[in-house]
Amino acid sequence: MTDRPPEAPRASLNVAMITVPPNSASGLFGMRDVLNSVGLGWETYVTGGAARPAFNVYTVAARPEPFVCGSGARIDPDHAVDDAPPPDIVIASGMFASATERITGVAPEIVEWIAAQHAAGATVASSCTGAILLAEAGLLDGIEATTHWAFYDLFRTLYPDVHLRLEKNLCCAPPDHRIVTSGGTTMWQELALYLIARHVSVEQATRTSKFWLLPNYGRLQAPYVAMPQGIPHHDRAIAEAQAWIAAHYATPDPVGRMVEISGLTKSTFRRRFQAATGFQPKDYVQIVRIEEAKQLLETTDAGVAEVAEQVGYEDQSSFSKLFRRRTGLSPSEHKLKFGRERFQRYLEG
């Protein structure tokens, strides 16, 4: 039997990190650090093996001049869009953006460049609100995508063709997975591990998670979702119903009472409520109740049965099932993860 020749070193993949003035520094530089360590960190500090960088990571901006990003950090772009090397992967990281108005501070050349790289065969990925740039480029139309949960109303209003799945941490567009979006804030870490596993190896993804102590966030960001204010609407009858349910969420037959308060017929109320809020009235009531339940679990010593009753559910079992369906956690698990006891120990001693 002849010896197998040694495997030729794999060429590093070009990764273009989009840099724009609204960027959050943590996601931008954190992603760069993690990807730059693949093929280097573990080999240097653990195995002593040959260092073979898996990625060549560089930043790309509309123009080459330095600027201060949304976090206040100085960014010196490696390349402008007109001289950037052809990327294998493009990443749009999170930005400080309005949840109620179209993004500002982003040059149209950046959006056009992202679309052009995808057309040329690159994988295009986003973390957190970086998905806005992909939506502006039209890349998310007709496919499932995720972003930070606070931007539900913005996407519903400005990008209605995007199939938003805010409960998910990652969305990968079939069939070739060349469009990938990840959830809010620190979900760039999950995106980094996904890109490493898919474009390098599962072994390197495992090594990277150990080297950087990256947690397993699971498949859902639902446990972290809260109820944002959303984009204001101008339907006074619906606004009055929303104000009423915010103070009377435990009332029996809350949807019926909201219909009465609005002075509308049931069918008209449901249609206008959906148009104004993006939710059916029943779903909206459930969300309000679950949000109140979260607050009680996080800030009081009340047990699950007591919390269920306070937010309008007589049957603890039904409440617990609904809570898990909405958040991905049981009420007890939520209390353990977010309750005040978790942080109380920091104040002791």
At 333, which CATH number?
Answer: 1.10.10.60
337: enclosing H helix or E strand: helix 331-338
Tokens of residue 314, six digits:
């007589």
Q: Establish if 210 belongs to a structural domain.
A: yes
Host domain of residue 110: 13-224
At 121, which amino acid appears? G
Q: Establish if 23 belongs to a structural domain.
A: yes
Distance CA 27, CA 189 (A): 8
Q: Are residues 294 and 205 in the same domain?
A: no
Residue 170 sits in a domain of what CATH number? 3.40.50.880
Residue 263: alpha-carbon gap to chain centroid = 38
**Phi, psi dihedrals of residue 56, rounded to the nearest 5°:** -110, 100
Q: Establish if 230 belongs to a structural domain.
A: no
Tokens of residue 31, six digits:
């992603």
Q: Are residues 96 and 194 in the same domain?
A: yes
| 208, 38 Cβ separation under 8 angstroms | yes
**What tens digit of pLDDT does each residue of 297-329 get?**
999 999 999 999 999 999 999 999 999 999 999
The closest of 113, 111, 10, 119 to 56, measured between CA atoms, is 10
| 91, 130 Cβ separation under 8 angstroms | yes
Q: Establish if 349 belongs to a structural domain.
A: no
Q: Establish if 338 belongs to a structural domain.
A: yes
Q: Establish if 285 belongs to a structural domain.
A: yes
Structure-token match 């984009």, residue found: 231
Q: Are residues 248 and 220 in the same domain?
A: no
Q: Which of 173, 201, 224 represents a domain boundary (last residue)?
A: 224
Q: How many helices (H) and strands (E) does the chain have?
A: 15, 11
Q: Are residues 220 and 255 in the same domain?
A: no
Radius of gyration of the CA atoms of the chain, in A: 23
Strand partners, 59: 17
Total domains in the chain come to 2
- The count of C-alpha atoms lying within 13 angstroms of the C-alpha of 331, restricted to the half-sphere facing its C-beta, is 27
Give the pLDDT of the chain (349 residues) as one tens digit per residue.
344 444 445 689 999 999 999 999 999 999 999 999 999 999 999 999 899 999 999 999 999 999 999 999 999 999 999 999 999 999 999 999 999 999 999 999 999 999 999 999 999 999 999 999 999 999 999 999 999 999 999 999 999 999 999 999 999 998 899 999 999 999 999 999 999 999 999 999 999 999 999 988 878 888 888 877 777 899 999 999 999 999 999 999 999 999 999 999 999 999 999 999 999 999 999 999 999 999 999 999 999 999 999 999 999 999 999 999 999 999 999 999 999 888 887 887 6
Q: Are residues 196 and 94 in the same domain?
A: yes
Q: Are residues 275 and 159 in the same domain?
A: no
Distance CA 110, CA 116 (A): 10
The closest of 269, 191, 281, 277 to 237, measured between CA atoms, is 269
CA distances from 333 to 71, 211, 225, 297 (A): 33, 28, 15, 10
Torsion of CA 225, 227, 232, 235, to 10 degrees: 130
Q: Is 104 helix (H, G, I), strand (E, B) or coil?
A: coil
Distance CA 280, CA 284 (A): 6
Q: Are residues 23 and 162 in the same domain?
A: yes
Q: Which of 170, 198, 224 represents a domain boundary (last residue)?
A: 224
Q: Are residues 30 and 149 in the same domain?
A: yes
Distance CA 280, CA 274 (A): 5
Q: Is 91 helix (H, G, I), strand (E, B) or coil?
A: strand
pTM recorded for the entire structure:
0.85
**What tens digit of pLDDT does each residue of 249-299 get?**
999 999 999 999 999 999 999 999 999 999 999 999 999 999 999 999 999
Q: Which of 174, 200, 224 represents a domain boundary (last residue)?
A: 224
Q: Establish if 172 belongs to a structural domain.
A: yes
Q: Are residues 244 and 121 in the same domain?
A: no
Structure-token match 């500002």, residue found: 104
Q: Are residues 54 and 134 in the same domain?
A: yes
Q: Are residues 209 and 241 in the same domain?
A: no
Biggest CA pair distance of the chain: 86
- The count of C-alpha atoms lying within 13 angstroms of the C-alpha of 76, restricted to the half-sphere facing its C-beta, is 0
Q: Are residues 208 and 314 in the same domain?
A: no
Q: Establish if 1 belongs to a structural domain.
A: no
